[in-house]
Amino acid sequence: MTSPEIAIDRSSPVPLYFQVAEQFAAAIQRGELAPGDRLDSELQLADRLGLSRPTIRQAIQHLVDKGLIVRRRGVGTQVVRGEVRRAVELTSLHDDLARAGRQPSTSVLELATVECPAKVAAVLGVDPDSPVQHLRRLRFADGEPLAVMRNWLPLDPVRLTLDALQTRGLYAILRASGLRVRSAHQRIGARAATAAEAQMLGERRGAPLLTMTRTAYDDQGRHLEYGEHIYRASRYALDVTVAER
């Protein structure tokens, strides 16, 4: 078991539990606490820091809610991998995970030719009920579920296959077919997980999810794909850089 040095400022207006939690979070982000490391027990931490067990318990729960540690029966409290941080760019989640040193994997839940829903048809610029490719995937990072992704694409110029989708990201498949994703319109939001979504993602029902819709275009301005994705807010964050105009 291990624990970083924690400094408590009792004169600070910052709650004691939050001071403890934030210093643990910083130690995890620095790599001082690695995935799999076990933390001292609540009693040990309370004795060492001179705090009450309810205060320590609140700090631990805060870290659990942020997805930085987990409680496992018979094992104790362990550090898990930090959240996936992803810049808002024209890239696929698969490629971003690989670049970040994470191991991406995919379970293809659905791949079919379907009649295009009216709202998707309006975005893709096709007639409602015209045939399009529809796919739904569960994306993992280091074996842990991270996102559920739905995408719709025209039938031409590329036909998707199960094997390709299980081993590569969608944009890599498009590039290999000679298609270049040049621009996209993207919207980011948040909502609560349904029971089915929570079960797939290993979350509780009602847990916060990040949502993202994206319409991608090629260098000729043609619609390439429309996607609706949900991500575990406890494991995933989007980074945006802004500048003064």
14-39 confidence digits (pLDDT tens) = 899 999 988 888 888 777 888 788 88
> Are 66 and 28 spatial neighbours (Cβ–Cβ below 8 Å)?
no
Query: In this predicted model, what pLDDT tens digit does every residue of 103-123 receive, in sequence order?
Result: 889 999 999 999 999 999 988
Per cent of the chain over pLDDT 90 is 45
Reduced to 3 states (helix: H, G, I; strand: E, B; else coil), residue 148 is strand
User: Please, what's the largest Cα pairwise distance for the chain?
Assistant: 68
pTM of the model: 0.65
Whether residue 90 is predicted with pLDDT greater than 70 in this model: the reply is no
Token representation of residue 96 = 């971003």
Beta-carbon contacts of residue 180 (< 8 Å; ≥ 6 apart): 174, 218, 219
